[in-house]
């Protein structure tokens, strides 16, 4: 199948598009530039530019990947347009881009698996989980800089059953905190959001079904909290509102200096940091077969082990297992190999976590098998 490509000029001006220097030779290139992790990575870059489209949740991570790709190789481009997961899957299955970015794996019941296989010249497409980002429970409580919550309390806040910060259930988790007797003001995403979808999946799993909401729109309760459009707006609303709380991608409260709650899944409070999120990823089970690495998120959300931070979303790069022309296959493999070895410090700054070594091994095995 011939892949449709936008011209370089269109790629530069396309809204939300990322155009960064990439790989341009057909040689194994050992240099790594500013990312020492790339020094020993060998890639065959190919000679074609590559393009992707989809999930906005992974856009900042793709920025990091493409910057590292530019360090490793030269004279090529990676074009990524953040248009949303649904449009990314549609663009991939239509053969308009080389990889799709999606907050969820291809769905057989929606016909996506079959359409993707047709696009890949009769070969299966693979879901490669390249990006993991924690969801923070961010808060603004006067006089409180250390807060612990658990799934039951979070669920009841978003169902409107716990309404004050000095509620006995919150006090029990925070015996040394001076919790004020003020109203809890929950903020949530009013737009359709993959963050909301994953947040609700987490609560449903972690509470054993006591929380019943699902989907990209919050379904917790009627008239509970205030909706805002986009992650930046919910985070800014928490900063401006005493007594408030929200669920939001890690980078936003980090950048605004907001409080981030520890999560107690039953084995004690767990801080949101790279190591504790890494433990959650390492524990993840794979639902897909072979090199189709569809993640069973319930195996993360239901993990009650000590030191595991469980509120995590992941996004996929959807690629052809076979069916690319040889030069595109080389470029896709090179880009994803670099992505798996991306600069961990830069990823953390952007609000993501690097792939733990064991999990990265599975991802690279899949990437190496692309042909």
Binding-site residue numbers for phosphate are 55-57, 85, 103, 193-195
Q: Determine contact, residues 224/158, Cβ cutoff 8 Å.
A: yes
Q: State the Cα angle at 244 between 238 and 247, rounded to 5°.
A: 70
3-state DSSP of 10-43:
HHHHCCCEEEEECCCCCCECCCCCCCHHHCCCCC
3-state secondary structure of 81: strand
CB distance 358 to 158 below 8 Å: no
Radius of gyration of the chain (CA): 21
Quickly count: other Cβ atoms within 10 Å of residue 146's Cβ. Answer: 12
Tokens of 130: 């390249």
Annotated binding site: 55-57, 85, 103, 193-195
State how beta strands 244-249 and 226-228 pair: unpaired
Q: How far apart are CA 345 and CA 127, in angstroms?
A: 25
Strand, coil or helix: 121: coil
């Amino acid at each position: 199948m011939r892949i449709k490509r936008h011209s370089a000029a269109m790629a530069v001006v396309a809204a939300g598009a990322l155009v960064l220097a990439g790989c341009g030779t057909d040689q194994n290139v050992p240099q790594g530039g500013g990312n020492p992790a790339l020094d020993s990575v060998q890639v065959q870059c190919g000679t074609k530019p590559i393009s992707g489209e989809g999930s906005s949740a992974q856009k900042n991570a793709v920025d990091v990947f493409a910057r590292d790709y530019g360090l490793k190789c030269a004279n090529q481009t990676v074009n990524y347009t953040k248009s949303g997961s649904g449009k990314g899957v549609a663009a991939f299955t239509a053969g308009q881009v080389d990889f799709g970015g999606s907050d969820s794996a291809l769905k057989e019941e929606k016909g996506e698996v079959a359409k993707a296989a047709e696009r890949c010249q009769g070969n299966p497409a693979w879901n490669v989980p390249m990006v993991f980002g924690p969801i923070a429970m961010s808060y603004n409580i006067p006089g409180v800089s250390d807060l612990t919550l658990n799934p039951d309390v979070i669920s009841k806040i978003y169902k409107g059953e716990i309404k004050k910060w000095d509620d006995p259930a919150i006090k029990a988790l925070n015996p040394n905190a001076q919790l004020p007797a003020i109203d809890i003001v929950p903020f949530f995403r009013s737009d359709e959001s993959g963050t909301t979808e994953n947040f609700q999946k987490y609560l449903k799993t972690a509470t054993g079904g006591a929380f019943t909401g699902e989907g990209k729109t919050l379904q917790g309760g009627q008239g509970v909290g205030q909706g805002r459009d986009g992650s930046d707006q919910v985070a800014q609303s928490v900063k401006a509102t005493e007594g408030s709380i929200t669920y939001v991608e890690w980078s936003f409260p980090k950048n605004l200096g907001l409080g981030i709650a520890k999560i107690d899944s039953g084995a004690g409070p767990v801080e949101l940091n790279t190591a504790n999120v890494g433990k959650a990823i390492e524990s993840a089970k794979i639902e897909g077969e072979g090199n189709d690495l569809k993640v069973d998120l319930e195996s993360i959300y239901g993990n009650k082990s000590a030191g595991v931070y469980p509120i995590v979303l992941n996004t996929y790069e959807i690629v052809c297992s076979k069916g690319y022309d040889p030069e595109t296959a080389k470029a896709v493999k090179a880009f994803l190999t670099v992505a798996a070895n991306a600069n961990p410090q830069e990823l953390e700054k952007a609000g993501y976590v690097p792939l733990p070594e064991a999990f990265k091994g599975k991802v690279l095995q899949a990437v190496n098998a692309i042909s």
